[in-house]
Structure 1
Amino acid sequence: MVRLPPLEAMRVFEVAARHGSYSRAAEELHITHGAVSQRIRQIEERVGIKLFERMGHRMVPTPDGRRLYDRVARSLAELTGAFTSLRSSRMDAEVTVSLLPVMAARWLLPRLPRFNEHYPHIHVNVKSDRQLANFKSDKVDVALRLGTGTWKGLHAIRLMDEEIFPVCSPRYNGGQFTRDPSAFVNERLLIDPNVPWSTWFKSFGVQIDRKIVGNSFADANLLIEAAIDGQGIALARRSVTRADLLNGKLVRLSDHNCRLPLSHFLVHPSLLESNAPAMAFRDWMLAEVGQRPLRVP
């Protein structure tokens, strides 16, 4: 019989392979880079196969490592789902989630039925606010935040990067709208103070020699609604406009993406293992963005 590596070592392997980085695995697990390397080496010695190789400054999975990752990730997800179901199946449970209003309305809300289908006994309490939640005083279990991934005392998992591009309603200006970026400055531009038009123009190489003016919306959700209503051209965030582009409420005016320096992170207190509903929500979120397969018994 094959002696299996310790479960903790397999958990370290799963995180390192998912990120393609020992350093990011160490950050997620709150252990040292050396501890990650030691756990991986422990598995490699046990199975006699090299699982990672160095590429530049990164340690990436070998073909054998990638194959093992697929099986290990599924197995760990099944174990998590089994224990989550066991701990919370006898009574209704609740998880409180904090996120920006625009992400709540346009990213989370359309996906919630899938979570409810997998976890019908877990009720989601959505707290949407532009201010960062205090996990203790606000009684928040997990949060979705846009930033660099550094929040003191909290554990952050990168979910997705963010890009912006110009969009408008197909009804804007009677359907007569330009796709020439250099001409956008002469259009009715809708402004998000947090994502200035100058950022996108600069990334496209368009030189603007005058101040960009227009209706300004501090709430990104209102910005999108104004664009859908035909009030002007807006810089759209990929994460929250996908559905509106697919259903034709918005049209994209340029194929050029401008990558923002911030990403979306799933954030929670370091110790989450004692909170079964929060663990279930975390694993579901990772599955939604394709980082981990979801297995629910």
Structure 2
Amino acid sequence: MTRLPPFFALRALAAAARRRSYSRAAEDLSVTHGAVSQQIRKLEAELGARLFVRQGNAMIPTPAAERLAAEVERAIGVLQGGVADFRRAADHDPLVVSLDPQLAARWLPARLPRLLADPAGANLDLIAEERVADFVTDGVDVGVRYGLAQEPGLETALLFHERLFPVASPALAAAHDIRTPADLLSAPLLRHRHRPWSVWFETFGLEDPGRGIELEDSIMLLESAAQGMGVALAREALVEQDLSSGRLVRVLPQAVSNAFAFYLVWRGDNPKLHRIHALRDWLTAEAARGQP
């Protein structure tokens, strides 16, 4: 197979032949006159033939160079058409979004009708999954992840920071006179394995009593609280619908900040980038609005 010269050298040849000028070719390619001249010299050395002859202020391609330049222009046109086809396909393919399953179950549903009615919500494929999707091998375009903003090689956008506060069923809240953080020391507590009550108690200079039912899943934790089994330390994003419906109430006005947050992540070289940016803008604006 014949080794091709560098692509930029061939582009310089095509531009110079079309414009009859190294300077005008440089303008078309957004480079310097010297860069075009250097590429032409390298191409002449590689091909073993002169490509241009000066006539006054014009650089006239030789007949062989003229034919080669025409073939390069045709090849560039084919490449541009292929790229355009690829981008059009990217516009029609689903935008695959990998979501934290708890956010998908508790935060997104109330907002989903608005999202689907907006251009940013066109042709979405929403996947709720615990795993961290691989943007190269899993066919995922955007991830909504819970954690710290440490995603080397990826673009990130903050969706929202998270606050924690205690919630309970109305009946349990009425049965326990909880007026201060210290009153929780004697209340029945529901515990999440990865979100200890110590985060709350230490903020107010109290020692975690270390008792209560331990649960692994946030949704199960909130459901248990709604059934009156105890007071849960709730994540703000996951409990807003329960508070709106009255299934749960905040037993204290205080809240503590969580080190983790919800982030959108994506690859900066994704061909669907303009659609990703539209979805990012919609989601971050929606998060800033607060409760629907």
Q: TM-score, normalised by structure 1?
A: 0.61
Displacement after TM superposition at 1:117 (Å): 0.7
Q: Give the direction of change, closer, same or farther, for the CA distance of 1:100–1:247 in structure 2 (3 Å limit).
A: same
1:254 is matched with which residue?
252
% same residue = 33
Classify the secondary structure of the residue corresponding to 1:288. helix
Distance 1:164 1:90, change over 3 A: closer
Paired AA for residue 166 in structure 2 = P
Find the residue that maps to 1:131 and give its secondary structure. coil
- Structure 2 spans left out of the alignment, 5+ residues: 1-86
Report what 1:29 is aligned to: none
Deviates more, 1:269-278 or 1:135-144: 269-278
Q: What residue is the counterpart of 2:230 in the other structure? A: 232
How many angstroms does 1:96 deviate by? 1.6
Secondary structure at the residue paired with 1:167?
strand
Q: Which runs of 5+ in 1 are unaligned?
A: 1-86, 292-297
Q: What's 1:288 paired with?
A: 286
Alignment root-mean-square deviation, CA = 2.6
The answer as to 2:166 corresponding to 1:166 is yes
CA distance in 2, matches of 1:169, 1:257: 18
Indicate conservation of the 8 Å contact 1:204/1:256, yes or no: no
Tell me what 1:186 maps to: 186
**CA–CA distance in structure 2, aligned partners of residues 207 and 274 of structure 1:** 50
Match of 1:72 in 2: none
Distance 1:89-1:98 versus aligned 2 partners, 3 A rule: closer
Render the CA deviation track for 1:113-160: whole Å, top value 9, x for unaligned: 111111397233222222212122222111111222111221111121
Aligned mates of 2:99, 2:120 — CA distance in 1: 22
Maintained 8 Å contact 1:95/1:281:
no
Tell me how far apart the structure 2 counterparts of residues 103 and 121 of structure 1 sit (CA, whole Å): 17
In structure 2, the residue corresponding to 1:283 is in which secondary structure?
helix
Partner SS state of residue 105, structure 1: helix
TM norm structure 2: 0.62
SS in 1 for 2:165: strand
Which whole-Å CA distance do the structure 1 matches of 2:88 and 2:278 have between them? 10
Partner SS state of residue 135, structure 1: coil
Which residue does the alignment assign to 1:204?
A: 204
Q: Can you list the C-alpha shifts for 1:167-192, whole angstroms capped at 9, x where unaligned? A: 0011227x312314223233221111
Q: Aligned residue pairs: how many? A: 202
Conservation of the 8 A alpha-carbon contact between 2:91 and 2:272: no
What pairs up with 1:70-85 in 2 under 5 angstroms?
A: none
Structural mapping, 1:16-55, within 5 Å: none
Does structure 1 conserve the Cα–Cα contact (< 8 Å) formed by 2:189 and 2:230?
A: yes
Q: Distance in 1 between matches of 2:177 and 2:88?
A: 55
1:105 corresponding residue in structure 2: 105
